[in-house]
A = this chain, B = another copy of it.
């Protein structure tokens, strides 16, 4: 009467270890347990096991399977949710494969050491010229800004500029990853990254809500800025502009 654990294992194609595990987590207790501790299974358990294996095949987690079989969750709804999740995963892997392909193309293009080279593109002179642009566009307030900037960087050595430049590159790369993963500009992770950007700009001058958003717009409109960001990733300039606007609206007064 009934089947031993190894018999059930052979019949169903799982290992006895799996059956013990299912017993352990309460998903499939045996019909009875002998005085020697042996597990014995009946038809009822075999049917349940088949249902478990069916749902497991679909990729459902064991806890969810248990709730479905115990009637706690409606099968139709669970499967519907699960299907959406599967499709999202499929799309995610598809996007990842695309990103890998593009990365490979960049590597072939000789950009392997790009990260290190990038740090050369950020120095004090260029920064000063950029800020002069701001003066033209945003008038006196920005003019105050550039004066403040000069004051703050008085005692800076080459090392200090390099350090800030590096951090600027780092936050830009971080934003590229967020962009590629299609994070919204008001995503907390994006705002955190922009916050880092804001702190770096703050090393030179302290933007207000309006001037910070204006700086973002300039990244898109000014050719020299655009070139810098487009070289990093197409669309980065616009993404950064929008993210800075979202940041300004959400966290600056």
Q: A174 contacts which chain B residues (CB < 8 A)? A: 12-13, 53
**A58 and B100 contact, CB distance less than 8 A:** yes
Q: How far is the CA of A119 from the CA of B167 in the complex (A)?
A: 68
Closest residue on chain B to residue A173 by CB atoms: B50
**B87 and A104 contact, CB distance less than 8 A:** no
Q: CB within 8 Å of B: which of A95-110?
A: 96-97, 99-101, 103-104, 107-108
We find that the number of chain A residues with CB closer than 8 angstroms to chain B is: 54
| A47, A53, A57, A100 — most chain B CB neighbours (10 Å) | A100
**A116 and B79 contact, CB distance less than 8 A:** no
Q: A173 contacts which chain B residues (CB < 8 A)? A: 50, 53-54
The answer, yes or no, to whether A51 is at the interface (CB within 8 Å) is yes
The answer, yes or no, to whether A35 is at the interface (CB within 8 Å) is no
**B170 and A103 contact, CB distance less than 8 A:** no
The answer, yes or no, to whether A93 is at the interface (CB within 8 Å) is yes
Question: Majority SS of interface residues in chain A?
Answer: helix
Q: A80 contacts which chain B residues (CB < 8 A)? A: 104
> In the assembled complex, how far is the CB of residue A44 from the closest CB belonging to chain B, in whole angstroms?
10
**B53 and A82 contact, CB distance less than 8 A:** no
> In the assembled complex, how far is the CB of residue A18 from the closest CB belonging to chain B, in whole angstroms?
14
> In the assembled complex, how far is the CB of residue A188 from the closest CB belonging to chain B, in whole angstroms?
11
- Using A90-B94, A115-B51, A170-B12 as known contacts, say yes or no to A57 and B104 having CB atoms under 8 A apart: no
Contact residue among B51, B107, B192 (Cβ-Cβ distance under 8 Å from A76): B107
Contact residue among B43, B93, B115, B180 (Cβ-Cβ distance under 8 Å from A163): B43
Contact residue among B11, B83, B96 (Cβ-Cβ distance under 8 Å from A170): B11
Q: A58 contacts which chain B residues (CB < 8 A)? A: 96, 99-100, 103
The answer, yes or no, to whether A86 is at the interface (CB within 8 Å) is yes
Q: A127 contacts which chain B residues (CB < 8 A)? A: none
**A99 and B57 contact, CB distance less than 8 A:** yes
The answer, yes or no, to whether A135 is at the interface (CB within 8 Å) is no
Contact residue among B12, B108, B112, B193 (Cβ-Cβ distance under 8 Å from A13): B193
**A90 and B97 contact, CB distance less than 8 A:** yes
Pairs across A and B, CB under 8 Å, 5 listed = A12-B170, A12-B174, A59-B100, A75-B107, A93-B93
